[in-house]
Structure 1
Amino acid sequence: MPDPGLSQFTTVFRASEPRRIKRNRQPVSCTACQKRKSRCDRRQPCAACEKRGDAPSCHFGPTASAAAANPGQNRTEVQDRLSKLEALVKQLAEEQTGARHGVHVQDGHVDVHTSRAEDAARLEYRGPTSWASVVDNIHDIQSALEAEDSDQGPESDVLDVTDILCGSSRTTMDEILQVLPSRTDVDKLISAYLNAKFMSIPFIHPGQFRRQYDKFWADPTSISMCWISILFSIMSCGIKITLVKTISLSSGPESRDASLYMNMAAKCLVTGQYLKGSPHSVEALIAHVHSRHIHGQDSDATLWTMFGTVVRMAQRHGYHREAHKVSAKISLFEAEMRRRVWFTIMSYDLLWSIQQGMPPMIHEDTCDTALPLNMADEDFDENSMKLVPRPATEPLPILAYITKYRLLHILHPVVRHALGIKRGTAADAAALGTALDKWHENVPACLKYRPIRESSFTDASHTIYHRNMLEMTYHTSRCVLMRSFLSSRGQSGIYTHALAICRESALQLIAMQVDVYSETQPGGRLYEDRFMVSSLSLFSFLIAAMILVLELHDYDQMPYVFPCASPACECCQRASQEERAHCTQVLRSTQKMWETRSDTSADAAHVKRILKAMLRCVDSPGWQSESDTLCRTTHAQEEEPEKASERNPWSDGVLPTGSHGFPEGSVGFDATLPMESFFNDVEGLDWVGPHPPGAEPMKLPEILTMTAELYR
């Protein structure tokens, strides 16, 4: 009789395992789908394997008994798959190495290139903090997602709201074809733009653009709306060139309406859903902002706001990273064009941020995009298997941009020094100044600055402009760096050094202004290419003029800001009479230039008034007597220096909030800044000068108000 204490375990413990019956049925899924746990349509090969490009490995495994009888087959299959994986890894490694060193293997078919370009344009870069990048590194999940690509899920709801940047208007292909002039006229506009090497943006490759252009005329619907937006932006810039060069167009007067083409470019951007990251969206928005910038007569803060969107869109697509780190699908040609795009973005972001007195949106420590290669456009195309840069001996436009790109990397810390909440030290400024000087020394010989009259007869106009642009950028950068130390009058050594650098750069900038102005007049060498001198390119000249105005002002105001015991004190020493006379004469030489532009530019009109008032006061007989009065007032305040410090907010050597550096002066990359901080606290000072009979004398506060209005 069984033991009652063991009866409860008799159905739990068994002496041997139960017999398992295995059914010998044929598998209904291929072995690959079984491993991926994906649905198989039971074809040979199945749709999932075809989509993955893995058709040779798609087969239906044998029954269990057959597999047990032939174990070598499984081993062979594993070895084949391992060999295939090794080949794939080697291929990816070669592609990445080619992207780094200028070697890339392609099949040479344009159709394949087009497909790769479209795939690359749709790529979204995700940094390591993104949850999606975590999923990408989980092999099992990634395999399942790739197998289920056909089921993408429902699209996100998109609200039909107004586009705050480009408006809500959309366009149709019928409207586009109706607005376009004849192809002959469009050809002229594009040719004029692409030949204006100093005005055209560097990421428009003429060969590639021509092929896309021909494709557009053959079948307009085959081209994306964002590419058509680029076309309209180029046409709007071409209008400005043809008007200066008096190039005739066969179409009616409406074909010369640049604003019409700019509006169509905006409509195409909205229709092409540029904010969703469609192909050419980043380049199209840059081209649109650039065209508006070229046609602008005065500074426009709206463009800086729009460019903030450009920066974020470009980062979303990984333009701030080297192409091989974003995707292996990006070809060698596309990688080079992406570098040129990123250079343009960095330039605008940095220099327009200086204009607004705000920190740049791009942080250099998060970017690793390399410099563009020094190649002419005809040196490479979509089918290039190797990119070989030229030596830096020929003044190619791209060489000027590469040289400027190197300067931008120095200008970033200069801007941080100028805009930082904590004031930078003199040692930091000295190190940055050394870096600027070293860059200036290393400018390629073919791009070294020389006066226009000393340029070779064979030098192209854009080469002359590029030389001027680089030189202006250098001298403006020095002013940005040393501007804050002009308030350090309590430290005579720092102040004297900063003033000497700013004066030297300001005088050089104005000398360049006189040179360019002279050569763009009728009969001058650059008269036919005067369209390259944008109104915004003159703001570096404006800064130079304001620095000299500041120096003339300080010439007779130093006793006021320094409560010294004696006018002979070192910190109260004034510039020599010869230097003062020279600065005054230089300002007089620029007055006519600003008057010439004042009819079309509000900024130039304000500058003209400021210079006129300043020079009138300098010539006033009361100028020196006022200075003597101020000097006596200063000595009377000697016993209470803290009160003088209260009157002068810069006496501690710290810039007041809102004071900024200066912009860079080149077409497409110029800037302005608030001017309230250019002068000391001189409230109540009556700056009397000659004035018409019956008119009230102009006081310095009025001049400062005029200056401030210029930058509001």
Structure 2
Amino acid sequence: MDAGSRKTEKRNRPPVSCEPCRTRKLKCNRRLPCDACTRRSRSSLCNYATNANRNKPEPSKGRDLKDRLSTLENLVSSFLSADAVIQPGLLTESEVTTADSGFVASSAEQYNRPTEQSSTLSSSSGGEDTLTPETPHIQQTGNGQVNYIDPSHWLSILDDIKEVREHLSISNQPISRNGIGFDVDLAVSDAGFLFSSDQNPSFDEITRSLPSQPICDMLLSWYFNSRFMVLGIIHPTKFQDEYATFWESPLTAPPLWVALLFSVLSVTVSLRRISSITEPDGSIPPITILQQRTVQCLVLGRYATANAYALEAFLLHLQSCYFSNDSVSVDPWFEMGTIIRLAFRMGYHRDPSSLAGITAFDGEMRRRVWLNIFQLDALISFQMGFPSMIPTEFCDTEVPRNLEYSDLFVDMTVLPPSRPPSENTPVRYTIVKSGVMGVFKKIVAHTQSLSVPAYDKTIALDTEMNQLYSTIPESLKRRDVNRSFIDHSCLIWERCTIEVLYLKGLIVLHRRYISYELQNPRHEPSRRACVEAALDMLYRQADLHKACEPGGRLYEDRWMIVSLPVHDFLLAAMVVCLDLSVRMRSRMAASREGRDYQQLAGREYQALQTSQRIWAVNSAASPEAHIAALALDLMLKKVAANDVGLFFVNDVSSGNTDPDPIVDSELPYADIMSQMIDGSESIDWGLLDRYLQNMDTDPDAAVQ
């Protein structure tokens, strides 16, 4: 037989590596299962091909496509089971469509929208050349786990693979999302790293550390009947039903629900401590224990798997830590980042109206949770001097409706119309404040821009803030306490916090012009707007202080006012002092040496004196007040030293104009602050913010 007619046959040698190792070109030790598959938790996928018969007919293209798709599908599924910490876990077939991603409207615009949902999706039925919008997925499990899947996510590609296979009609059975080998014990490699929790007690030990049921009943009743600092993210009726079920069998309750219970108790005890309520001896664990149990339940419940109750427990834990910590630290900012990532994973950044499978009740409660996350992110990020962590251009969650708890129930199918803004509900304050917060967030982004902010944009934001504040309900607009004697103390507090946020926004927006291009009259409106906002804030501080004195309107509820941030009033005082120092030293325009200038300078100095005396009075009871008194004392001395002819101030001031003598060396950053008050045009406002908001920390640490 010649060479031309010779038929070459390959030896039918059996493969020595398992299929996964051959696919990935990994070294296989030929065991069953092999070590490589065992390490990757893919033991069920480890199999060896039998001796192939190469004389069989060539398989059809359809069968070959099916095998290839199945292999790819198994491969992607194995990725899912290997790293469930950062990837969604047990999934269902629930798939939904939603509207195109657009920029998020301002909170004020959303608040004034009609209550009906006016926008619905229209399905496109064009030809094969028509580009249709990609649609995200909401995937849920029976145990409460919720995952939001973007169209570009590889899990969506896995669905596409399944759909192609079914379209070719070559699949014997659909893919089982619950059978991909997901091991709950391997899903989360102890998410306690965030909380530095090396070892957790048993769930039985955690539940046994709860106060007795009567004590829990009392604390929960106090919480749900109080509207001061209650976020409105827990529905009382639903929680009460779950609470009754919990006491029937505590050990069968979800750990994340128990985390929610501990977080509510810790917030309640924190608020009762601030309000000076005396607790029965030994009946209630310390706040630190309640907070620790919250963390342990979050870790035990594997919060990273995006199960129900995790976000609510996180938010309340953050609130409790805010109440109980006397100093400002970076921990809330890190925890806020985890909350935001978890919210994104669960799809809270998308409005429930565009996501199928979410009930009307759950959707409205999700909006409430997201609204609190949005506002806390803006405040905490500003407090740390960092940009917001929420990209609003990818969010479209609407502001919740102004509804009472009684308007909502679990089995409802349609939301009722929103109550009028004038009607007080558990969420009205948060809704109204969200409008001001939305503009404040824009202002912070504008001032933190790496490029020089356009002055026209500054004026536009000023107009937007003033117009928005003018549209809020009359009952929440600024009003002196002596004109609020028929109002509840909580309403007075809400009114003041919205006003302070509004004024702080104007101060932050215009403060760079206090010492910038003083010869340019174009910026004079900004300088005046900044100073007037700062003076208004110091006036409100004096008004509240007077109302909290013995016999005052707020004396019995003065603990509410104590919760107002110290650094906001100190920021206003710093701006007033800086403007006064710059103007006295410049004297470059005749208009500033006239009567108007002297009256403004007198108002500024008097406001600083009043504020300093307020902090000095409270310095014995509050470390923050003591530091604030030191800072204002330094500022007043600095201003007086910069102008030897400050005789007109004595005429407009009442009483002794000299501040209480305080040793400058007690102020940890006195030298640096003195240099800032000198009015340098290169003043670092971000650095100054960190000083004012972290006054008990090392100044060098604030620079880093």
User: Residue in 2 aligned with 1:422?
Assistant: 451
User: Residue in 2 aligned with 1:30?
Assistant: none
Please tell me whether the aligned partners of residues 192 and 299 of structure 2 are also in contact (alpha carbons under 8 angstroms).
no
- After superposition, the CA RMSD in angstroms is 4.0
User: Residue in 2 aligned with 1:345?
Assistant: 373
From 189, 201, 212, the equivalent of 2:242 is: 212
Pairing 1:131–2:154 present? yes
User: Residue in 1 aligned with 2:551?
Assistant: 523
Say which SS state the counterpart of residue 673 (structure 1) adopts. helix
The separation in 1 between residues aligned to 2:182 and 2:413, in whole angstroms, is: 41
Say which SS state the counterpart of residue 383 (structure 1) adopts. coil
The Cα offsets for residues 28-84 of structure 1, whole Å up to 9 and x where unpaired, read as: xxxxxxxx99xxxxxxxxxxxxxx999xxxxxxxxxxxxxxxxxxxxxxxxxxxxxx
Please tell me whether the aligned partners of residues 351 and 397 of structure 2 are also in contact (alpha carbons under 8 angstroms).
yes
Pairing 1:589–2:610 present? yes
User: Residue in 2 aligned with 1:297?
Assistant: 326
Pairing 1:288–2:288 present? no
How far apart are 1:248 and its partner, in Å? 5.2
Q: Residues 263, 623 of structure 1: CA spacing in aligned structure 2 closer, same or farther, 3 A cutoff? A: farther
The separation in 2 between residues aligned to 1:268 and 1:338, in whole angstroms, is: 22
User: Residue in 1 aligned with 2:668?
Assistant: none
Say which SS state the counterpart of residue 685 (structure 2) adopts. coil
The Cα offsets for residues 437-456 of structure 1, whole Å up to 9 and x where unpaired, read as: 11011011232221122125
From 497, 514, 518, the equivalent of 2:525 is: 497
How far apart are 1:340 and its partner, in Å? 0.7
TM normalised by structure 1 equals: 0.69
The separation in 1 between residues aligned to 2:481 and 2:327, in whole angstroms, is: 26
Amino acid paired to 1:234: V
User: Residue in 2 aligned with 1:394?
Assistant: 423
The separation in 2 between residues aligned to 1:245 and 1:413, in whole angstroms, is: 35
The separation in 1 between residues aligned to 2:454 and 2:204, in whole angstroms, is: 61
How far apart are 1:169 and its partner, in Å? 3.5
Q: Number of residue pairs matched? A: 547
How far apart are 1:124 and its partner, in Å? 0.9
Please tell me whether the aligned partners of residues 198 and 397 of structure 1 are also in contact (alpha carbons under 8 angstroms).
no
Amino acid paired to 1:340: R
The separation in 2 between residues aligned to 1:438 and 1:365, in whole angstroms, is: 23
User: Residue in 2 aligned with 1:373?
Assistant: 401
Please tell me whether the aligned partners of residues 591 and 597 of structure 2 are also in contact (alpha carbons under 8 angstroms).
no
Q: Residues 101, 214 of structure 1: CA spacing in aligned structure 2 closer, same or farther, 3 A cutoff? A: farther
Pairing 1:463–2:491 present? yes
Pairing 1:608–2:602 present? no
Structure 2: 5+ residue stretches without partners: 1-68, 71-90, 99-114, 121-138, 647-674
Indicate the larger mover: 344-353 or 512-521. Answer: 512-521
The separation in 1 between residues aligned to 2:698 and 2:146, in whole angstroms, is: 47
Amino acid paired to 1:660: G
Say which SS state the counterpart of residue 566 (structure 2) adopts. helix
The separation in 1 between residues aligned to 2:605 and 2:677, in whole angstroms, is: 26
User: Residue in 2 aligned with 1:450?
Assistant: 479
Say which SS state the counterpart of residue 152 (structure 2) adopts. coil
The separation in 2 between residues aligned to 1:486 and 1:308, in whole angstroms, is: 34
How far apart are 1:349 and its partner, in Å? 0.8
The separation in 2 between residues aligned to 1:495 and 1:273, in whole angstroms, is: 54
The separation in 1 between residues aligned to 2:492 and 2:206, in whole angstroms, is: 38
User: Residue in 2 aligned with 1:64?
Assistant: none
Please tell me whether the aligned partners of residues 232 and 368 of structure 2 are also in contact (alpha carbons under 8 angstroms).
yes
From 219, 234, 246, the equivalent of 1:189 is: 219
Q: Residues 124, 543 of structure 1: CA spacing in aligned structure 2 closer, same or farther, 3 A cutoff? A: same
The separation in 1 between residues aligned to 2:497 and 2:642, in whole angstroms, is: 40
Q: Which has the higher contact order (CA 8 A, sep 6+)?
A: 1
How far apart are 1:231 and its partner, in Å? 1.6
Q: Residues 299, 495 of structure 1: CA spacing in aligned structure 2 closer, same or farther, 3 A cutoff? A: farther
The Cα offsets for residues 373-415 of structure 1, whole Å up to 9 and x where unpaired, read as: 1101121121223222111221324122112222232223211
The separation in 1 between residues aligned to 2:303 and 2:478, in whole angstroms, is: 40
Amino acid paired to 2:203: M
Please tell me whether the aligned partners of residues 146 and 308 of structure 2 are also in contact (alpha carbons under 8 angstroms).
no
**Which residues of 2 match residues 319-334 of structure 1 at below 5 A?**
319-325=348-354, 327-334=355-362
Structure 1: 5+ residue stretches without partners: 1-35, 38-51, 55-87, 104-115, 560-566, 626-647, 663-671, 677-703
User: Residue in 2 aligned with 1:177?
Assistant: 207
Amino acid paired to 1:172: S
Say which SS state the counterpart of residue 147 (structure 2) adopts. coil
Pairing 1:660–2:686 present? yes
How far apart are 1:557 and its partner, in Å? 2.7
How far apart are 1:371 and its partner, in Å? 0.7
Say which SS state the counterpart of residue 634 (structure 2) adopts. helix
The separation in 1 between residues aligned to 2:153 and 2:483, in whole angstroms, is: 56
The Cα offsets for residues 260-316 of structure 1, whole Å up to 9 and x where unpaired, read as: 211111111111111222221122111111110122223222111111111111101
Say which SS state the counterpart of residue 483 (structure 1) adopts. helix
Pairing 1:260–2:289 present? yes
Aligned sequence identity (%): 27
Q: Residues 359, 622 of structure 1: CA spacing in aligned structure 2 closer, same or farther, 3 A cutoff? A: closer
Amino acid paired to 1:128: P
From 665, 690, 694, the equivalent of 1:673 is: 690
Indicate the larger mover: 221-230 or 316-325. Answer: 221-230
Please tell me whether the aligned partners of residues 166 and 266 of structure 1 are also in contact (alpha carbons under 8 angstroms).
no
How far apart are 1:652 and its partner, in Å? 14
Amino acid paired to 1:580: A
Please tell me whether the aligned partners of residues 215 and 283 of structure 2 are also in contact (alpha carbons under 8 angstroms).
no
Amino acid paired to 2:237: G
Pairing 1:122–2:145 present? yes
The separation in 2 between residues aligned to 1:383 and 1:588, in whole angstroms, is: 58
The separation in 1 between residues aligned to 2:208 and 2:523, in whole angstroms, is: 62
How far apart are 1:598 and its partner, in Å? 3.1
Say which SS state the counterpart of residue 686 (structure 2) adopts. coil
Amino acid paired to 1:473: L
User: Residue in 2 aligned with 1:275?
Assistant: 304
Amino acid paired to 1:465: W
The Cα offsets for residues 143-167 of structure 1, whole Å up to 9 and x where unpaired, read as: 6685434522253565457523352
Please tell me whether the aligned partners of residues 452 and 464 of structure 1 are also in contact (alpha carbons under 8 angstroms).
yes
The separation in 1 between residues aligned to 2:288 and 2:677, in whole angstroms, is: 46
The separation in 2 between residues aligned to 1:195 and 1:358, in whole angstroms, is: 36
The separation in 2 between residues aligned to 1:468 and 1:53, in whole angstroms, is: 47
